[in-house]
Each structure stands twice: as structure tokens, then as C-alpha cells.
Structure 1
Amino acid sequence: MKSFAATLMAGLALAVSGGAASAQISDDVVKIGVLTDMSSLYADATGKGSVAAVQMAIDDYKGKLKVEMISADHQNKPDIALSIARSWYDNEKVDAIFDVPTSSVALPISALTREKNKIHINSGGGTSDLTGVACSPNTVHWTYDTYSLSNVAGKAMVKRGEDTWFFVTADYAFGMALERDAANVVKENGGKVLGDVRHPLNNSDFSSFLLQAQSSKAKVIGLANAGGDSQNALKQAAEFGITQGGQKMIALLTEITDVHSLGIKATQGLIVTDAFYWDRDDETRAFSKRFNDKVGHMPTMIQAGLYSATMHYLNAIEAIGTDDSQKVMAQMRATPVNDFFAHGGKIRIDGRMVHDMYLFEVKKPEESKGEWDLYKLLATVPGDEAFRPLDKGNCPLVKTN
């Protein structure tokens, strides 16, 4: 009889402790919102592929948490994005918002997330200000930023003698941050910026901008834009024979989907900085095959980064038994990132996830062995060299004295 009573009491104690642990998860579910570009110039690099990557991580997660995901198209408009995010936080009980391409959207979403004390893990937005002057204790910048893109490619090209630059820049927060960071790298390494021109977001005709760049006689024409804008500019540059005239083209943010869309013949020799390439090793190939089977193309760095970030976020909650935002952020910062996306990655106090970056060159058609065999590796740049030093970003969270 005593044995039965003891067993009963132990069972009751276990049930109570289990209930207490469950109560640490608000609403008994972890809810992720994927806010992305489903319909415009960044849809291939993010969009449905971003949603698929997060869902793949949720499906692969083996822990005890109940996890749900919702998604929406922010249409690259800050007002629409903020309206969706407010509704998600206030009415849909979303715990974290992921992806958020377009820097002019990412910055206000980061600010709102801090106001609501939730979590924002950004993979799609580029501006380095997210971990600089606009840094937040509630935001992680996972995949890339304008500083790392500019630093890796700009430094390499100036050292090769490509030391005069002209920028064709998207006229919004991302483009201006990308040009700013690239120009600084060029100047710091002994190069010169001969000029720049700015174009509207989602632009179709680059002829006048490219002619200005061509007439500058700069050795390098730097495209400080992305997505459909980069594709259109590169396509028209090929039509104008700019590279045949001796000038080099560099698209400072180029996704593998951009190169695939334009074709290897039109992009051969293009220098690309990237955080991920599907054919890097066995782990990246295994993930990318699964992704390709679901989505129909190889993952971009943004999409691969989202899988990695989602798994890291869920494992952090599992480890500490709560989805309290600041405790989860502390756990994520305390835990290295070791997966197919990053080895020895670390999240700094400013929110920057630091990991290796890669410099690639697009192969010549005769070098390619298949549809997605597009890049050859020129250099692997350690994260501490690729990303901006912690004390140089003017992040208020960083103590510099």
C-alpha cells in the first residue's frame, strides 16, 4: 500500500512540474510569423522559399514544443508590413517574426519588435544599421549585411588593381547603406569612387544609369541593388557590351537565383559574395536537394539562413523551457551555431550572427557541369574578418569603454 501511495504522489509531482514547465510557453504554442516578399523583386530570393525553409525546420524539429507558422506578403511597403506585424503581435499571438527582406521594412519591424518585447530574426534585409545605430536587444541579423558584402568583394577587387569605382544604387535604405559600406572599403584600401547614380526601387530601364557609369571610365561598376533590379541591370549591361569594353561589373548582392535566371553565359566572370552555396560540402548538398525537391530551385543564402535560424530559435526555447524573449535571446547568444549553414557561428550583443562568408566567381559555360553548377570558390573569409568589428557600428548596446 505504501508503495502504491508513493508511486501516486510521485506521479502527481511529475504532472505538476510538467504543467509548470508548459506554462512557461505562452499560450502553450510557439508561433512564428514569416513576413516576406511574395510578389515583387525579392520573391525568388525570399518569398515562398523563405516560408518553405522555416516550415522545413519546424517539421525537422524533434523537441517537445508545439510550433505553428503563419506568413504574409509585406509588398515591400513599410506601412503594410507594420500593420501586419502589429496584428500578429497583438491579435495572433506571434512570438517571433522571421525573414523581412527590404531594409526600409526591416528597420521599422525591428523597432516595433522591441516595443512589443518579441523577437525578430532577420535573414532577408541587408542594411548593416540593423546591428549598428538601429541595433536592438530583440533582433538578430542572421545571414548577411551590407558591410560584409562590401568588405569581402570590395577589398578583394581593389587588391587586384580594380581601384576606381562607380555605383549604380537603389534609392532606398538598403541601396544607400550598401553603397556607403562599399565606398568606405574602396577608400580604406587605397581606391577611389568616381561617382554614383541612384535609381528607383523595382526599376526596369537602366540604360541611362549604365551609360553614366560607362562614361565615368571607372574600372568597376558596382551595383548597389538586389533581386530584379540587379537582374535587369546586368542584362542591360551585357546588351551594351560594358564588360567587353574593359569595365568590371560587380553585383554587391547577388543570389544564386539571379545568376540562374540570367544564365551562366550572361553572368560568367561576375564576382559574388555569398553566405551559402548549395555545393559547398555534403551537408549543404543534402539540405539543398531536399529544398529543391520542395521549391523547385536551389536555396538562396537567405532561405538557407532561415532554416538555420529557425532551428536555433526553437532549440533555445527547448533548452530553457520558456519563450520569454530576453531569456531566449540570451540563450541564443550563449549557444554557438553549428549546422550546415554555419560552423562556429556566434550571435554578438549587437545582434549580428557572425559566420564565414564566401567570395565566388561565376563559372564559364564550359566549366559548368549542370544546371546549378554556377560558382567557383575564390576565398573563404572568416566571420571576424568579414563582418564589421563590434566596436565600429555605433550600436548603443555595445560598451566601448
Structure 2
Amino acid sequence: MRSTVTILSAAALLAAVLAGPALAQQTPLKIGVLTDFQSVYSDIGGAGNVEATKMAIEEFGGSMFGKPIEVVTADPMSKADVAATITRKWYEAEGVDMIIDMPTSATALAGMEMSKQFEKIMIVTDAASSDITGKSCSPYTLHWTYDTYANAHTVGSAIVKNGGDTWFFITADYLFGHSIERDTGDVVRAAGGKVVGSARHPLNTPDFSSFLLQAQASKAKIIGMANGGGDTINTIKQAAEFGIVAGGQNLAGVVMFISDIHSLGLNLAQGLIITEAYYWDLNDRTRAFGKRFFERMKRMPTMNQAATYSATLHYLNAVKAAGTKETKPVLAKMRETPVRDAFTDNGFVREDGRMVHSMFLFEVKKPEESKAPWDYYKVLAEVPGEQAFRPLKDGGCPLLK
């Protein structure tokens, strides 16, 4: 009798072990979009990132393993502790399989800790610090759109080559801004230029007057805006009120988006040299995606929104190819499969989690050069991903040791 019970118990245990993956497949695939809905980064991500995620799901077919794919959303309020709480709840209690977006570098790093703890996938499409795939890299996090190193090297080197060899930074006082100042400063100094100073401001501050006065007094040829979203827009608007550009200094937007140009208008933004990973009017595929996005949102997508669509679609295809939602097989498929879609036609995922792809150097058109709404950029150069992004050996990612 004991032998029979033992055999039956062993058989039941074996059946449970074998059924584990099958039971996992019975739960719907769930994606969490953690984004900024109401603060300085809402235009570049926000509701547009949610819609981009849904567009990718619809294009994929809407279901996985016979069940509809689900989407949940939340706003971390630009706070790392809130981001950690939400990501923990999603991974641990709500069955979220992948989290995407992460609006700031601080929220991204906090979420990445939860991603490591629960061994679940996170794809960063908004936050920009190059530390995400550097000293803070994670085996479960991919960085998709851009980073401070790539933007600094694409824009910073171009400006220094054209004579902008003295810089003063107006810097958002948290990891993202610090990373821009650090990475761009390195580029300036490596090219023989000089950083003469910086002024740090709180996130989402309404008044840049004291910071602009410091920049003006520095006599630097270039005032580098080491901030983003609404902070960058307000810096440029208030710089015009102070007559800074009229006085002979120039502004450099290290991290800027087409939504910023739209908010500023071409009269204020004309002549800015910026870098982006995507522009809706580059080719037939970018135009087709831009048109579909515009029909839903009544505005053209930012590079972050196009990247969120791209990363979601790549993830879904990897889950299908792996035949499972389990993290490691899916990540392996994401790494071995090239990224070819409306966001990029030459992307690939590196060992440190960096998705490498071309970056573009643009000049903002003059009002008379623009033929239609959202016709804002002239392409100056396409920079191959291997040149734009930090070399793998230089990032300090512990995973590579």
C-alpha cells in the first residue's frame, strides 16, 4: 500500500511539474505601460505610448495562445518609490509579464530592481540615462529608443566641429540631466572644447530666469539644455525673452522631440540641431506608421512612441516564436532576432540590453521651408548605431564580466 501511495504521489508531482508551463500559458499575456500622463514627459510618451502599445498588439493579431492580450497602465508621478511599488504589484500580484516605457531614469532604475527580483522583462523606451545599460545593466531589461551617450555624441560632436567649443549646461537635477551633462561634457572636452559651468534646476520648474542669467553671464558659445520635455520647451521660450540667441549665444537641445518643436513653433525652434532615432517622414514605413498614429492621436508620433510600438511588437513576436511567456526563452528570441519595423530597419539587441540602431542628425526647418504641419526636419546625417551608441566594452556593464 505504501509503495502504491508513493508511486501515485510521485506521478502527481511529475504531472504538476510538467503542467507548469502549460498552466502558465493558460493565463492571458499582460503588458504594463508605466508612463507619464500629466507631467513634463506626457507629450513624448504618455497616452501616445499606450496607443502605440495597442497598435502593436492589434497588428500582431490581438491574442496570444488563444487568449486576448491585456494592457494595464499607471503613472509613477516621476517618483522612484512609486515606480517600485507599482512594478512590484504588477509583477507579483497582477500577473504582468512585461513592463514598458518608464518615463524617467530614476523610475526606470527603481523598476529594474523589481524586474530583477521577479525575473520579469522590462523594456525602457522613454528614460535616457546611459547607465541603464552601463553600470546598472540588468539581464532582464532592454533599452530601446536612445540614451544620453548616443545623443551627446551625435549632437555634441556636430556642434563642436562647427565652432561651438565652449559650453554652459542648464541641467535637470536628477539622473537623466546629470547623465546628459556628463556624456555631452565628455564629448566637448574630447573634441578640444571646454565646459565653463552649469546650473541645475528642479524637475518641472516654471521659472528658468536665474539659470539663464548664469548661462548668459558665462559667455559660453553654446548653452546645452541637459533637460527634456516641458523643461526644454520652457528653457527655449524664456531664453528668447532674455534675448540670449539674439545676443550671440546658441542653444543646444541634446534631447529633443518632434512634440517639442510642435509646441515651440518653427519661429522659435528654427535652426536647432537635434538628434532623434525616428522621424515620421523618413521613408514609406515611417510615413505609414505616422499616418496610422495620427489618425488615432491627431499628432505625429515622437521617437519614444514609435519605439514603444516597435519594442512591443518585437516582444510579442518573440513570445510567439519561443512558444512560451517564460522570461529567458523570450529574451533569447529578442536578442537573436533583428529588429525590422517602422521604427528602424537595422536594429539588434546587444548583450548589455542596448537595442542598437541608426540615429539621425536633424536641423529644424525655417517656417518658409515647411510645406505642411509636422514637416519640421531636414536630415543632416544618418549615424550608424555602432558609431552612435557607446561601445560594449566601455559601458561597465557587470553582465559582461
For 1:109-148, what aligned pairs fall within 5 Å after superposition? 109-148=111-150
Task: Give the aligned partner of residue 388 of structure 1.
Answer: 390
- Cα-to-partner distance string for 1:123-147 (whole Å, 9 max, x where unaligned): 0001110000000000000000010
Task: Give the aligned partner of residue 4 of structure 2.
Answer: none
Whole-Å separation in 1 of the counterparts to 2:256 and 2:240: 16
Q: CA deviation at 1:348?
A: 0.4
- Cα-to-partner distance string for 1:103-133 (whole Å, 9 max, x where unaligned): 1111110111011100000000011100000
Q: CA deviation at 1:62?
A: 3.2
Equivalent residues of 1:24, 1:323 under 8 A apart: no
The one of 378, 381, 389 aligned to 1:379: 381
Whole-Å separation in 1 of the counterparts to 2:26 and 2:147: 34
For 1:261-276, what aligned pairs fall within 5 Å after superposition? 261-276=263-278
Whole-Å separation in 2 of the counterparts to 1:398 and 1:235: 44
SS in 2 for 1:337: coil
Whole-Å separation in 2 of the counterparts to 1:63 and 1:84: 25
- Cα-to-partner distance string for 1:210-251 (whole Å, 9 max, x where unaligned): 111111111110000001100100000111121111111011
Task: Give the aligned partner of residue 175 of structure 1.
Answer: 177
Task: Give the aligned partner of residue 28 of structure 2.
Answer: 29
Task: Give the aligned partner of residue 290 of structure 1.
Answer: 292
Q: CA deviation at 1:63?
A: 7.7
The one of 221, 224, 227 aligned to 2:223: 221
Runs (5+) with no aligned partner, structure 1: 1-18
Pick which of 381-390 and 322-331 moved more.
322-331
Whole-Å separation in 1 of the counterparts to 2:37 and 2:25: 29
Task: Give the aligned partner of residue 155 of structure 1.
Answer: 157
Whole-Å separation in 1 of the counterparts to 2:145 and 2:227: 17
How well do the aligned residues superpose, as a CA RMSD in angstroms?
1.4
Whole-Å separation in 1 of the counterparts to 2:101 and 2:152: 21
- Cα-to-partner distance string for 1:358-393 (whole Å, 9 max, x where unaligned): 111111011011110111111110000000000001
Aligned amino acid, residue 164 of structure 2: E
Task: Give the aligned partner of residue 207 of structure 1.
Answer: 209
Q: What TM-score do the two structures reach when normalised by structure 1?
A: 0.93
State whether structure 2 residue 41 is matched by structure 1 residue 39.
no
SS in 2 for 1:344: coil
Q: CA deviation at 1:22?
A: 7.8
Q: 1:180 to 1:24 in 2, by over 3 A?
A: farther
Equivalent residues of 1:24, 1:321 under 8 A apart: no
Task: Give the aligned partner of residue 3 of structure 2.
Answer: none
Whole-Å separation in 1 of the counterparts to 2:202 and 2:194: 25
SS in 1 for 2:347: strand
Task: Give the aligned partner of residue 322 of structure 1.
Answer: 324
- Cα-to-partner distance string for 1:248-267 (whole Å, 9 max, x where unaligned): 10111111111101111011
Whole-Å separation in 1 of the counterparts to 2:132 and 2:216: 33
- Cα-to-partner distance string for 1:301-355 (whole Å, 9 max, x where unaligned): 0000000000000000100101111111111010100111111211001000000
Whole-Å separation in 2 of the counterparts to 1:373 and 1:24: 50
Task: Give the aligned partner of residue 12 of structure 2.
Answer: none
Task: Give the aligned partner of residue 52 of structure 2.
Answer: 53
Equivalent residues of 2:81, 2:110 under 8 A apart: no
Whole-Å separation in 1 of the counterparts to 2:89 and 2:63: 27
Whole-Å separation in 2 of the counterparts to 1:21 and 1:102: 36
Whole-Å separation in 1 of the counterparts to 2:23 and 2:123: 21
The one of 57, 78, 81 aligned to 1:79: 81
Aligned amino acid, residue 51 of structure 1: V
Aligned amino acid, residue 133 of structure 2: T
SS in 1 for 2:399: coil
The one of 311, 314, 331 aligned to 1:312: 314
Q: 1:63 to 1:34 in 2, by over 3 A?
A: closer
Q: What TM-score do the two structures reach when normalised by structure 2?
A: 0.93
SS in 1 for 2:294: helix
Runs (5+) with no aligned partner, structure 2: 1-17
Task: Give the aligned partner of residue 92 of structure 1.
Answer: 94
Q: 1:72 to 1:63 in 2, by over 3 A?
A: closer
Whole-Å separation in 2 of the counterparts to 1:279 and 1:239: 32
SS in 2 for 1:338: coil
Pick which of 234-243 and 121-130 moved more.
234-243
Whole-Å separation in 2 of the counterparts to 1:365 and 1:221: 23
Aligned amino acid, residue 118 of structure 1: K
Q: 1:104 to 1:21 in 2, by over 3 A?
A: closer
Q: CA deviation at 1:28?
A: 3.0
State whether structure 2 residue 358 is matched by structure 1 residue 364.
no
SS in 1 for 2:286: helix
Whole-Å separation in 2 of the counterparts to 1:26 and 1:74: 29
SS in 1 for 2:332: helix
Pick which of 63-72 and 209-218 moved more.
63-72
- Cα-to-partner distance string for 1:79-103 (whole Å, 9 max, x where unaligned): 2111111111111100010001111
Q: CA deviation at 1:26?
A: 4.0
- Cα-to-partner distance string for 1:170-196 (whole Å, 9 max, x where unaligned): 000100011100000111111110111
Aligned amino acid, residue 397 of structure 1: L
Equivalent residues of 1:361, 1:375 under 8 A apart: yes
SS in 2 for 1:179: helix
Q: What is the aligned residue count? A: 381
Aligned amino acid, residue 277 of structure 1: Y
Aligned amino acid, residue 190 of structure 2: E
Whole-Å separation in 2 of the counterparts to 1:394 and 1:259: 35
